């Protein structure tokens, strides 16, 4: 007899009577009146395939090895299922056990586990309902990102992971070095002598691909990067990772308005894509993780984003009838409590805050006429706070040089970045979307450690 090898997803829509072989990991096993019910899942769908093994259908010692967590292949006939919530099940004729899992030691039993516990078994948690759904959504979201830009003629570019610009200002950086710890060559003044290191100067893991993306935008007009970035921030919050993925589009001839419009179109597009392609997984998040997920996503798709300036935002925060942990004050960066208040409580939708004081933003943001604010934009969303940070970039050579001096950065280190303003400069803009922040927004997961397969945070890089 020939059995067609199919995924669980395919098996669930096979016609009754098909002879198939399905493979996967046993999620549960139940014995009742001589019949054994086994649910297998291979990650292709949230829903698993129910196997029905009648007494004597397979050898007793084989069936015994089919424990929760074991990996098996099952062959048999697709039959109509009497159970609710599934059209078909598999009437089993043969089972092959690839690997059993000792019930005394397999840590992922059917009962609910806490997120904290599951983080300690990150090598196994992808086999749970929650993390299966999270990583399928992650896959769909990444694909949606590429499709959005591809449809709009953006060039996908790769910017370096190792960088020697030491002060992009986005966050603390990790050193990259081949020098032996404890044997650092020293300069005359006792500083580490990086000129003897691999790159002959200090090198770091990148915090952002923006500066290089700007160089490419000034050749290809519209580009985007989508890669890992690193920040050695010792912040230990539920919204910060030391290693996270960022999407950074950069566009020549875009001003801040164009940039804001692109950010809004982009968020709406990727949300719509995931809602269309991950219905089953999102339904799970809505039911078990965060009851407002679907409602907020639908709301975003159908509303236009609020636009306010930083100065207006500070006024609104000061007028708000509540006590803050950090008192809102012009010239201070908005804290998460402020960002969430604006988007979650006041406007109840995504809010784009623009024109921040220059003193709290990076040197490359375009200076406004008032000489106090820059053409920055942050997109704030309910539950998460800041999800996008971006700006129109300073394209005027003299202004950019003055800003470098003002912020105490070495002009020499930015020689090539300044060259872009010397040779064929153009107005341009861009932004960065934190991929994991977007994942939190889509899934309702409360901790950023639970939307990336193997999180890196202070004190933690086990897997
Ligand atoms: P925050 O104030 O939340 O730390 P930021 O101002 O440092 O953010 P940007 O430098 O503008 O953020 O980075 C662009 C985007 O990258 C942010 O809008 C956010 O979505 C994401 N992001 C920044 N830092 C982290 C981090 N440590 N972990 C995960 N995502 C991050
Ligand atoms: Mn930060």
Q: Please state the φ and ψ torsions of residue 48, each to the nearest 5 degrees.
A: -100, 175
Task: Name which residue sits closest to atom 21 of ligand 1, judged by CA.
Answer: 434
The reported pLDDT for the residue numbered 360 is 94
Condensed to tens digits (0 to 9), the pLDDT of residues 310-342 reads 999 999 999 998 999 999 999 999 999 999 999
Give 54-59's long-range contacts (Cβ < 8 A, gap of 24+).
Answer: 54/91, 54/92, 57/92, 57/93, 58/92, 58/93, 58/94, 58/95
Confidence of residue 442 (pLDDT cuts 50, 70, 90): very high
Nearest to 246 by CA among 220, 225, 273, 217: 225
**Cα(418) to centroid(ligand 2), Å:** 25
Nearest to 148 by CA among 50, 234, 68, 267: 267
Task: Name which residue sits closest to atom 29 of ligand 1, judged by CA.
Answer: 240
Q: Is it the case that residue 421 has pLDDT exceeding 80?
A: yes
**Cα(338) to centroid(ligand 2), Å:** 15
The reported pLDDT for the residue numbered 236 is 87
Q: Is it the case that residue 167 has pLDDT exceeding 60?
A: no
The reported pLDDT for the residue numbered 300 is 87
The reported pLDDT for the residue numbered 303 is 86
Condensed to tens digits (0 to 9), the pLDDT of residues 364-391 reads 999 999 999 999 999 999 888 899 999 9
Q: Is it the case that residue 111 has pLDDT exceeding 90?
A: no
Confidence of residue 169 (pLDDT cuts 50, 70, 90): low
- 178 close to 198: Cβ distance less than 8 angstroms: yes
- Give the mutation target among 238, 389, 390, 440 for probing the ligand 1 site: most ligand atoms within 8 A of CB: 389
User: 460: buried, middle or exposed (CB in 10 Å: 19+, 13-18, 0-12)?
Assistant: middle
Compute how many other C-beta atoms are within 10 angstroms of the C-beta atom of residue 199: 14
The reported pLDDT for the residue numbered 166 is 60
Task: Name which residue sits closest to atom 15 of ligand 1, judged by CA.
Answer: 434
Show Cβ contacts of residue 188 under 8 Å, excluding neighbours closer than 6 positions.
Answer: none
Condensed to tens digits (0 to 9), the pLDDT of residues 216-266 reads 999 999 999 999 999 998 888 999 999 999 999 999 999 999 999 999 999
The reported pLDDT for the residue numbered 170 is 63
Q: How far is CA 363 from the centre of its chain?
A: 27
Q: Is it the case that residue 184 has pLDDT exceeding 90?
A: no
Question: What is the average pLDDT score of the chain?
Answer: 95
**Cα(426) to centroid(ligand 2), Å:** 28
- Measure Cα distances from 288 to 47, 69, 168, 183, 443 in Å: 15, 22, 40, 53, 10
- If one compares 301 and 101, the residue with the highest pLDDT of the two is 101
Taking the CA of residue 432 as reference, the ligand 1 atom at the shortest distance is 14
Q: Is it the case that residue 171 has pLDDT exceeding 80?
A: no
Taking the CA of 437 as reference, the closest ligand is 1
Taking the CA of 335 as reference, the closest ligand is 1
For residue 198, give the 3-state DSSP assignment: coil
Condensed to tens digits (0 to 9), the pLDDT of residues 194-229 reads 999 999 999 999 999 999 999 999 999 999 999 999
* pTM for this entry: 0.95
Condensed to tens digits (0 to 9), the pLDDT of residues 58-94 reads 999 999 999 999 999 999 999 999 888 888 999 999 9
* Range 130-145 average pLDDT: 98
The reported pLDDT for the residue numbered 144 is 98
Stated as kind and residue range, the H or E segment containing 243 is strand 243-252
**Cα(325) to centroid(ligand 1), Å:** 21
Ligand 1 binding pocket (C-beta < 6 A) is 170-171, 231, 233, 240-241, 244, 246, 386-389, 432, 434, 436-437, 448
Positive/negative CA dihedral, 394, 400, 403, 408: positive
- 331 close to 358: Cβ distance less than 8 angstroms: no
């Amino acid at each position: 007899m020939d059995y067609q090898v199919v995924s669980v997803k395919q098996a669930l829509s096979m016609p009754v009577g098909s002879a198939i072989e399905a493979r996967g990991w046993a999620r549960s096993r139940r014995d009742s009146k001589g019949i054994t019910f086994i649910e297998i899942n291979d990650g292709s769908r949230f829903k698993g395939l129910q196997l029905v093994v009648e007494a004597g259908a397979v050898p007793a010692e084989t069936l015994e090895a089919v424990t929760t967590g074991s990996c098996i292949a099952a062959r048999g006939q697709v039959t109509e299922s009497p159970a609710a919530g599934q059209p078909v099940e598999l009437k089993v004729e043969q089972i092959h056990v690839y690997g059993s899992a000792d019930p005394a030691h397999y840590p992922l039993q059917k009962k609910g586990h806490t997120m904290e516990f599951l983080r300690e078994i990150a090598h196994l948690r992808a086999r749970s309902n929650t993390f299966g759904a999270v990583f399928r959504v992650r896959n769909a979201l990444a694909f949606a990102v590429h499709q959005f830009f591809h449809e709009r003629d953006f060039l996908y570019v790769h910017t370096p992971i190792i960088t020697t610009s030491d002060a992009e200002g986005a966050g603390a950086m990790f050193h990259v070095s081949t020098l032996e710890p404890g044997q650092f060559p020293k300069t005359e003044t006792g500083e580490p002598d990086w000129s003897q290191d691999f790159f002959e100067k200090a090198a770091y893991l990148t915090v952002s691909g923006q500066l290089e993306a700007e160089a490419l935008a000034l050749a290809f007009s519209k580009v985007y990067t989508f890669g890992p970035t690193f920040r050695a921030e010792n912040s230990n919050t539920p919204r910060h990772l030391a290693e996270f993925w960022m999407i950074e589009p950069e566009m020549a001839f875009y001003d801040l308005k164009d940039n804001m419009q692109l950010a809004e179109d982009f968020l709406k597009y990727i949300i719509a894509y995931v809602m269309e392609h991950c219905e089953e997984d999102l339904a799970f998040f809505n039911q078990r993780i965060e009851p407002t997920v679907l409602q907020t996503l639908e709301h975003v798709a159908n509303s236009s984003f609020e636009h306010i300036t930083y100065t207006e935002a500070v006024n609104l925060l000061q007028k708000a009838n509540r006590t803050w942990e950090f008192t809102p004050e012009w010239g201070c960066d908005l804290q998460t409590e402020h960002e969430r208040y604006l988007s979650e409580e006041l406007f109840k939708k995504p809010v784009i805050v623009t024109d921040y004081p220059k003193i709290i933003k990076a040197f490359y943001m375009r200076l406004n006429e008032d000489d106090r604010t820059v053409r920055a934009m942050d997109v704030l969303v309910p539950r998460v706070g800041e999800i996008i940070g971006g700006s129109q970039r300073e394209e005027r050579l003299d202004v950019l040089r003055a800003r470098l001096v003002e912020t105490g950065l070495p002009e020499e280190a930015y020689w090539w970045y300044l060259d872009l303003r010397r040779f064929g400069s153009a107005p341009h803009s861009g932004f960065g979307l934190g991929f994991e922040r977007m994942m939190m927004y889509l899934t309702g997961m409360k901790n950023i450690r639970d939307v990336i397969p193997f999180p890196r945070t202070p004190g933690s890089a086990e897997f």
